[in-house]
């Protein structure tokens, strides 16, 4: 069970850093104004999420392994959501020529 938890957590960490990389790429392409400010906030939130994912292994182990698995799955779902949003925005910016 511990190996499964570790694998799911590592997948979540990888995905959120992939999303952060994509967000950095988009951040350079978006022009100034409200859109840029809003994007910057999203970019910082993704960074905060990435830091949170990295600190998970530092937290003391929860007594029930099932809780850890649930947390790992939630983190993975959050990372997948972020990647999907970044990819969607990336496609939109390519279509409008940014």
Q: H or E element: which one contains 94?
A: helix 65-95
What is the span of the domain harbouring residue 91?
A: 2-95
* Residues whose CB falls within 8 Å of the CB of residue 15, separated by 6 or more in sequence, listed in order: 76, 79, 80, 82, 83
Report the predicted TM-score, pTM, of the whole model to 2 decimal places: 0.63
| Burial label, 68 (beta-carbon count in 10 A; 0-12, 13-18, 19+) | buried
Region 56-83: mean pLDDT is 72
Residue 58 has pLDDT above 70, yes or no: no
CB 17 within 8 A of CB 50: yes
Tokens standing for residue 72: 């790992």
What is the count of structural domains for the chain?
1
Per-residue pLDDT at 34 exceeds 70: no
pLDDT at residue 73 is higher than 70:
yes
């Amino acid at each position: 069970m511990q190996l499964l938890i570790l694998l799911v957590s590592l997948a979540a960490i990888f995905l959120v850093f992939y999303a952060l990389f994509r967000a950095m790429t988009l951040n350079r392409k978006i022009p100034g104004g409200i859109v840029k400010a809003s994007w910057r906030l999203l970019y910082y939130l993704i960074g905060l999420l990435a830091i949170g994912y990295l600190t998970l292994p530092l937290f003391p182990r929860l007594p029930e392994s099932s809780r850890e698995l649930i947390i790992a799955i939630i983190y993975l779902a959050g990372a997948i959501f972020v990647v999907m949003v970044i990819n969607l925005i990336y496609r939109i910016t390519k279509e409008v020529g940014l």
